[in-house]
Amino acid sequence: SRPEIVVPAPLPPFTLTALERLFTVHRLWEGIEDAALARVRGMAASTLAGPVGEDLFARLPALEIIANFGVGYDNIDVAAAAVRGIVVTNTAGVLDEEVADLTIGLLLATLRRIPAAERFLRDGRWNEGPFPLSPSLRGRRVGILGLGGIGKAVARRLEGFAVPIAYHGRTRQEGLSYPWYASAEELAENSDVLIVIVPGGVATRHMVDARVLTALGPDGVLVNVSRGTVVDEVALVAALESGTILAAGLDVFDREPHVPEALLAAENVVLLPHIGSGSRLTREAMGQLMVDNLGAWFGARRVLTPVAETRHLIPA
Ligand code: GLV
Ligand code: GLV
């Protein structure tokens, strides 16, 4: 018989359809009987939905694997999963290029004030005079906070803009020509643009705080495409209001979909509703990789993209 899986929160319809081809799928939000809960061996979670932790694990005694829709898995209590022997997979790799494209788009939109310029035109103000001159990307030093798959894809694109690139990550990576800085603050000190791509979670919470923003400086631009929790949002609002930094481009927020009023009212920010990986092509690829991870597990093959914290639970 087909393995039974649970989907705790809605997924794109094409992904649900792909899951239903292989598994018996229970939609948690539609209600699920206790007898079925006891048979559930897999979960298809989503990084864009609610948290997945002990509350849910306690109701799913047969759960073996959680396949996450998303590269970030700060939505999942991975430590609690590991204790219960539950393997976790993500969708690493398939969204790097898409998120990097969006990052460059957001960076340029923020520096060249593209959304404000478009509003200016639509508001019929062009005949009143030219749109105010903007800052430039050229001549800026770009710091990448978190040089993983997405960070490297961003760096590759930035090479084309001929701007100096540096990075901070937990470790200095071999074989890279970009300077490495030992802390976020040192990187910010030596950057005019700071691009945040470290994973979310407790280890990176408020990594970009008031000190880092002060180090970035009055001409500095912050771009965040990873998780809102990495940036101290209260400190960011204060820094934007006081001119401690010049501007920010944000695709993520601390308590999505809530966006602070102060950011909505600010002129020097570009705000996006967490769309980094949000193209049809990439969301389909993410869905397929999630399905393939579950298919591999239940077909006794190696899962494709296990997260580091539960890799030891995978049979050799
Ligand atoms: C999106 O935010 C993801 O983690 O994939
Ligand atoms: C990269 O993301 C790191 O934290 O090293």
The CATH code for residues 96-271 is 3.40.50.720
Tell which atom from ligand 1 comes closest to the C-alpha of 252: 2
Domain spans of the chain? Answer: 4-94+280-313, 96-271
Tell me whether the CATH fold assigned to 4-94+280-313 matches the one assigned to 96-271. Answer: yes
Distance of alpha carbon 11 from alpha carbon 284, whole angstroms = 11
68 lines ligand 1 (CB under 6 A): no
For ligand 2, atom 5, which residue shows the shortest CA distance? 169
Ligand nearest to the CA of 227: 1
Strand partners, 88: 66
| ipTM confidence score | 0.65
Cis preceding-peptide flag for 257 (omega within 30 of 0): yes
Q: How far apart are CA 48 and CA 53, in angstroms?
A: 15
Distance in angstroms (rounded) separating the CA atoms of residues 179 and 196: 16
Q: pTM of this prediction?
A: 0.95
Is the CATH number of domain 4-94+280-313 3.90.1150.10? no
Question: Would you give the end-to-end CA distance of the chain in angstroms?
Answer: 25
Host H or E run for residue 97: helix 96-111
Distance 71 CA to ligand 1 centre (A): 5
Q: Evaluate: CB of 146 within 6 angstroms of ligand 2.
A: yes
Task: Write b or e for each residue in 234-273: b if 16 or more Cβ atoms lie within 10 A of its Cβ, otherwise e.
Answer: ebbbebbeeebbbbbbbbbbbeeeebeeebeebeebbbbe
Active site members: 227, 256, 274
Q: What is the 148 CA–ligand 2 centroid distance (Å)?
A: 6
Say if residues 216 and 245 touch (Cβ distance below 8 Å): yes
Per-residue pLDDT of the chain in tens (316 residues, 90 and over written 9): 899 999 999 999 999 999 999 999 999 999 999 999 999 999 999 998 889 999 999 999 999 999 999 999 999 999 999 999 999 999 999 999 999 999 999 999 999 999 999 999 999 999 999 999 999 999 999 999 999 999 999 999 999 999 999 999 999 999 999 999 999 999 999 999 999 999 999 999 999 999 999 999 999 999 999 999 999 999 999 999 999 999 999 999 999 999 999 999 999 999 999 999 999 999 999 999 999 999 999 999 999 999 999 999 998 7
How long a stretch of residues is the chain?
A: 316
d(CA 210, CA 249): 17
Structure token pair of residue 179: 């300077």
